[in-house]
Structures are given as C-alpha cells and as structure tokens.
Chain A
C-alpha cells in the first residue's frame, strides 16, 4: 500500500497567520483527500484534490480558507489561511491507490492556534 509523509507533524501558530501542510506519497495516485479531525471528534472531509484541476470542496469548506495545490501525482499541499483557535485540529492527507477501494492515511499534522 502507499506510504504517506506529512509535514509538519505538529505546529503552534498565531491567530491570523497561515500554515501550509505538505503531503508526499511514495507512488502516483489520481486523487488525494484532505480531512480535518477536531479534538475528540471524527474525521471530516475537506476536499478532494485531482492533479491538474481545481480541488473539489465539501459543504462548509471554501477555497479561500483552505487553498489546495496538486502540482503532480505524488504531492499536494493544504493551506489553512487566516487561522483562528477554531482551526486547531489534526489535518490528514489520504489517498486511494488506483484500483483499490480503501483509503490510506498519513499520520496527520496537528495544528494548535493560539
């Protein structure tokens, strides 16, 4: 199965700043998914990122707040913009390798906004 590396693993940020999270996969994948997991909660899908096209955002998430890049088939970034304490969460990158019907997740990036 695919191996996913996320950076940073954790960070503490100031209110009003932005942070970009990187997701690197060891194989080429068509789709990459970004999830948010708020403290003590389940996972919520933010958006689906396809290489060469605009990301598709889920209800409640907008591109201005969570811009996503997908420059190639092994890499994606998620930016959390103009952060507030409510953005304190774990952000997870996920892929579904071609032909598979399951998701592989990275370890996540834990953001704390002060």
Chain B
C-alpha cells in the first residue's frame, strides 16, 4: 500500500483558502486518492476522491498533477467549523472495497 506524507499541522484564518498537500511517491496505477475529515469524537468522513487532474464537489477541490505523486486538497473560505484532522489516503478498489492505510493526517486549526 502506498505511503502518504502530509504536514502534521496547519493554521489558517477564517475566510482564507487552505491548501493541504499530500505526497504519495509510490502510488500504483490503479490507486485512487481519497481525503477524509475527522472531528474530535467522530469517525472520519469522506470529503473527496480523485484519480487524476481536478475534482470539485460542494465541499472541496482536489488537484492531482500528471505524475500523480502528490495531490492537493483545497478548502475554499474556511470557517471555524473546518477545524479538524484531514487524512490523505491512496488505495485501490478490490472486490468492491478499498483497503487503505491511514497516514498521520494534517491537523487544521482555523483561527478567528
């Protein structure tokens, strides 16, 4: 399973755009890149997933360069409620499920 590396922590002011980059140099051809968000006392929650180029949903955007060795999660105009740990995972679907390894995650602190 591909290993991921991301910053341990980040601080941002409310209203700013936040970009969290994840390195996954050993990503395999059939691996997807998935980001999860975890609030204290809750399980991780799916945010966004992509394979290449750019993916956007109502919560975030995911940018993946052509070599796929890294990815960037972009959160537009963060608020205090976006304070959480963000995990970048890579893994492939196998038999209908994705077996993945969680990295250290990035603890985002949004400041008023």
Contact = CB atoms under 8 A, between A and B. Distances in A.
A30 B97 contact: yes
A114 interface: no
B98 A104 contact: no
B26 interface: no
B42 A101 contact: no
B49 A48 contact: no
A36 to B, nearest CB: 11
A31 B97 contact: yes
At the interface, is chain B mostly helix, strand, loop or mixed? loop
Contact of B105 (A4, A30, A42): A42
B44 A101 contact: no
Interface string B37-55: 0000111111001000000
Contact of B93 (A44, A101, A104, A110): A101
B64 to A, nearest CB: 15
A96 B94 CA distance: 11
Interface in B54-112: 87, 93, 95-105
Contacts, number: 57
Chain B interface bracket (under 10, 10 to 19, 20 to 34, 35 or more): 20 to 34
B87 A106 contact: no
A102 B46 contact: yes
Contacts of B99: 45, 48
A102 B98 contact: yes
26 contacts: A1-B46, A4-B43, A31-B96, A42-B87, A42-B104, A42-B105, A43-B87, A43-B102, A44-B102, A94-B43, A96-B97, A101-B34, A101-B49, A101-B93, A101-B97, A102-B34, A103-B36, A103-B46, A104-B46, A105-B43, A105-B45, A107-B42, A107-B43, A108-B41, A108-B42, A108-B43
Q: Which 3 residue pairs across A and B have the least CB separation, nearest first?
A: A105-B43, A96-B97, A43-B102
Interface of B: 32, 34, 36, 41-46, 49, 87, 93, 95-105
Given A35-B102, A45-B102, A106-B43, 9 more contacts: A30-B96, A31-B97, A43-B44, A43-B87, A48-B99, A98-B96, A101-B98, A102-B46, A110-B41
